Amino acid sequence: MAKEIGADRLGDFYVAGSKVRNRREWRGVQDTLYDYSRWLKIMMTLGKFMMKPRNVKAFFRYRWMANYLAVPMMVDRHTQGLRGEYLRMCHTEQDLIIDDVAKLLDNLFRGDRRIGNDTEFSKKVVLVDENEMTAVMMGFPMLKCLSRETPSTYVSVLLNQHAAEHYIDVAQEFGLAGDVCPMPEAEAGVSIDDDAPVLGACAIQCNTTCDGSLLGNGVISKRLELEDGVPVFQLAAPLRHREDDVQEYAAQEIRNAIAFVEKHTGVKWDWKEYFECAKRVNYATKCRQEWLDMNRTDYPQVFGSNLALYTETNYMAICGRVADFEKADRKLSKLAQQAYKKKMRAAKEYRHRAIVWGVQSHFYMDFLVWLLNCWGIVPLTDMLSMVSTKMIAEEDTPENREQAYYDMAWLTENMIMRNRTHGGYRVLLDELWQFTEEFNADMVILWEHICCKALDGMHGLFEDRARDLGINLVWVQHDLFDPRIINRQGVRDQINNYMRTVMREEPIDPSLEILPDEESW
Amino acid sequence: MKDLKHLIFFEDLLLEANNKLIQQARQEGKICVAYTCENTPEPLLNLEGTFSARLRAPRTGSIDVATYYLTSFLCEYSRALLERAIEGGFNFADCIVTPDGCSMMNRCVENMELLHTMGKDNDRFFFEYMEIPMKSDDNGLNLYKLQCENHILKPLKEHYGIDVSDAAIRKAVAEHNRVCELIRAIGEFRKGPQPRITGYEFCVFNLATYVAPHYLLVDMLEETLEELKTREPDEKSPFRARVVVVGSEVDDTDFIKLIEESGAYVCADRYCYGSLPGRDPIVLTDDEDALTQICRQYMQRGQCPRYMNTEKMLGRRQYVADLAKEYGADGIIYQQMKFCDPWAYEKMLGSHILREDYGYPVLAVDRPYAIAGSGQMRTRVQAFVESIEIKKIQGGASNG
């Protein structure tokens, strides 16, 4: 137990067969008090949420709600070993995300026909996909843009590694092949199981990341549109998003989506609000760029899961629509600058500089923390954080109002994951090696989500290029939402084996090499 | 039934990707445009001086090298094509055009390009990737047209000097339609209680029209059509049920043969490479340019599950139900190639909907690329046929 970074054997906190760890981490007086105060804040957020009877009712109606008991544990997983500015950055992000998800849940249950049944509220709700860029809602401040899949599947798996298994099984029992991506498969399972809140004036679906997500939408819309009577607009974002000759199509899809929302809600698009959001989008982009610039130096600051989880939420789900995230951006930048000036490091030893590429495992998002603490591999950035850096028009002029459709289309085309899984080999294969050079990385950790055809289809060429360039390429196979296929230790062992047999290294913290976390949340 | 005169010739044709008619056309100086997906408008690949060849890999053996590049999680069709390309089996092609129809096919062709598998001795060779619409609407039509211009017509003109004018396109459509009309007319003989052509025979003739130059097939197809008009059906049919086969890519005639050997007559073919709707003629009018009309008809009739708007999704199932009715099917076989995401979802929903909403017995199966020796598939089809017979005996209970 010590204040210093890396003084603890972090593996000793795990207890075989237990969902939780044996005790909280001692980080010195100041950091422990800070961490504890944030823990109390999370408990207050949860307590406030549970004060409402409708939310208690929802706990008993929806199977996936039980996963939310694991919220504090999720934060603990991501703060392992962190001290000082790093700890504060992590809490700034995670606490805000928790708050945002709590509001999302509260709103969903308020309008849900089975729970709160607030029909007037429901008329102001537009449902969106979990993995969907919400740019098209930037000019509708009077409407609530809610995703049912975010809390039912996406966040659930972050909280509890086993959360999606039931829904995957439901989909397969219904006849879906077992070789599709488990993310849209689980979302389809929720729909087949009729386990999603029913509300909304209309919904916008999108072909987000892959063929699976596109087709999974059909299962959901069958329930939503044909049975629940919620009109659905399918927003088709072009796949070859770097090509000039698809941009007009993409922009027209945005125009059509906005017209659809206006028609079904009676609410008009608000340009003033749109451009306010656009400013925040640009500010978030600027901050992210600054963080990535820092990560190119010897003193990376906002990296690993601190970068990945936050970018995913802020870039895509928020997309400039929530002012609190701008405050968080500012605070994170300030903390990062402080740490950078002090030449701080998040672990006691940095051995390798790595780009993490591919689609990361959702049931093991804290893997990046483990990489750093166990083997000294610094995850400088990851594929899902390497999103659009283009500044969008933010001044309200007649020309910019037209440009705005193209900007929203661009953001939608470049939503997280799809900006790499679609768009041809240049964005997935070629740009990886550019990033390894820019970030001075000597290693690529390549998540190989075994059901992601877009990624798998470049397997051999990744290997060929890595060999040509002399980069250490470490494959980490997983099945995204399903730890029954490859469990967390199976994921870790792929790194352990490479580091021992190829790199001939010993772990920095040997207690982390094998962890008894199969039953853990 | 008496053997059809050209059947063996057509069967032989299908044994090689680089078949003798492709070789003949190339010797005549024609440019071979290879493609991989039903969403590529075929008449645009068959302009004066060009002919199309949809890629397949008959007699596939080991696909180990392609599996290294694509992993074992991509469908065997994409792996078999890449393997064949690496082996040099597609060197007859002068260019390749592929829509970004599914991730696997896109990656397959990208690997072909990056591994320099084709066009080594041809500096005019090109790879083109197209965006194609995911919804059937005006916006989709504009995109389709633009993509065809930029990724088919323009490169053909620039690289090979092909005439891509409206008149040239109309001429190509007329020739395309002739083949379509012949195939559809031949396919009509699958209707009725005593069909004059088996599903397998039809599959052979139809498949050849995708992989060999049309102009070299027309005479033989005409002759076959004439032959069918007087062909005497067997007195006692060897089949016990009639089925529509629906689903993903099938270029393996042995699959259809296996189904028929198991007692189910394949009366209609709604799969990639099938004739429905792939061999629907394209109707052109004079009040609009030909390209727009072609794209509209491809978009509107397309039954690919990547079309994501609700009308299209509902329309796909209605289309299958309509075919089953028109061709007098007793049941439907939904098949998907293993690892095919689009058809995995469509098969799941379609099989439930056709069974529950339309009352058809449905068999849902997944399969490898080449299937001839699959005892497992044979057993499943035989069991399906028996279940249809039992239902008939019991008076048509329709719970599948």
Question: Which of B310-315's residues contact partners 24+ apart within 8 Å by CB, and which partners?
Answer: B310/A221, B310/A225, B310/A232, B310/A234, B311/B136, B312/B135, B312/B136, B313/A218, B313/A221, B313/A222, B313/B349
For residue A15, what are its two tokens? 């207890």
A107 lies in a domain?
yes
A1 lies in a domain?
no
Assign 3-class secondary structure to chain B. CCCCCCHHHHHHHCCCCCCHHHHHHHHCCCEEEEECCCCCCHHHHCCCCEEEEECCCCCCCCCHHHHHHHCCCCCHHHHHHHHHHHHCCCCCCCEEEEECCCHHHHHHHHHHHHCCCCCCCCCCCCEEEECCCCCCCHHHHHHHHHHHHHHHHHHHHHHHCCCCCHHHHHHHHHHHHHHHHHHHHHHHCCCCCCCCCCHHHHHHHHHHHHHCCHHHCHHHHHHHHHHHHCCCCCCCCCCCEEEEEEECCCCCHHHHHHHHHCCEEEEEEEECCCCCCCCCCCCCCCCCCHHHHHHHHHHHHCCCCCCCCHHHHHHHHHHHHHHHHHCCCCEEEEEEECCCHHHHHHHHHHHHHHHHCCCCCEEEEEECCCCCCCHHHHHHHHHHHHHHHHHHHHCCCCCC
Structure confidence by residue, pLDDT tens digits, A262-316: 999 999 999 999 999 999 999 999 999 999 999 999 999 999 888 888 998 899 8
Q: Residue B400: which pLDDT band, with cuts at 50, 70 and 90?
A: very low
* pLDDT score at B396: 59
A418 lies in a domain?
yes
Answer whether B311 touches A (CB < 8 Å): no
The total of structural domains in chain A comes to 1
Structure confidence by residue, pLDDT tens digits, A179-188: 999 999 999 9
Find where tokens 């709700």 sit. A125
Answer whether A427 touches B (CB < 8 Å): no
Amino acid at A347: A
DSSP for A262-301, written as a single string: HHHH-PPP-HHHHHHHHHHHHHHHHHHHHHHHHHTSS---
Q: For residue A221, give the chain B residue with the closest CA.
A: B310
8 A C-beta contact, residue A46 and residue A103 = no
A159 lies in a domain?
yes
pLDDT(B373) > 80? no
Angle at CA of residue B321, ends B318 and B323, nearest 5°: 110
Distance, in Å, from the CA atom of A119 to the CA atom of A123, rounded to the nearest integer, reads: 6
A120 lies in a domain?
yes
Interface of A with B in 12-71 (CB under 8 A): none
Cα–chain-centroid distance for residue A177? 26
Q: Which residues pair with B242 in a beta bridge?
A: B265
User: If you average pLDDT over residues B100-127, what whole number do you get?
Assistant: 95
Cis peptide before B277 (omega within 30 of 0): yes
Answer whether B336 touches A (CB < 8 Å): yes
pLDDT(B122) > 90? yes
SS3 (DSSP) at A197: coil
Q: Cβ contacts (< 8 Å) between B142 and chain A: which residues?
A: 248-249, 252
8 A C-beta contact, residue B393 and residue B330 = no
Structure confidence by residue, pLDDT tens digits, B264-305: 999 999 999 999 999 999 999 999 999 999 999 999 999 999
With CB atoms and an 8 Å threshold, state whether B349 touches A240: no
A190 lies in a domain?
yes
With CB atoms and an 8 Å threshold, state whether A457 touches B70: yes
The mean of the pLDDT values for chain B is: 96
* Boundaries of domain holding A43: 10-512
* pLDDT score at A309: 85
First-to-last C-alpha distance (Å) of chain B: 32
Answer whether B352 touches A (CB < 8 Å): yes
Mean pLDDT, chain A cut into blocks of 10 residues (521 residues total): 79 90 90 96 94 96 96 92 94 93 97 97 95 93 96 95 97 95 95 97 93 92 96 96 97 98 98 98 96 97 89 90 95 97 94 95 92 97 94 98 98 94 96 97 95 94 96 95 96 98 97 94 92
Residues 6+ apart with CB under 8 A from B304: B38, B39, B101, B272, B342
A2 lies in a domain?
no
Answer whether B119 touches A (CB < 8 Å): no
H/E element, A77: helix A71-78
Domains belonging to chain B, first-starting first, are 20-162 (3.40.50.11890)
Interface of A with B in 341-400 (CB under 8 A): none
When CB atoms are compared, the residue of A171, A216, A457 closest to B103 is A457
Structure confidence by residue, pLDDT tens digits, A11-57: 999 999 888 888 889 999 999 999 999 999 999 999 999 999 999 99
User: If you average pLDDT over residues B193-217, what whole number do you get?
Assistant: 97
Share above pLDDT 90 across residues of chain B, in percent, rounded to a whole number: 93
Number of A to B CB contacts under 8 A, please give it: 163
Question: Is this complex's ipTM strictly greater than 0.90?
Answer: yes
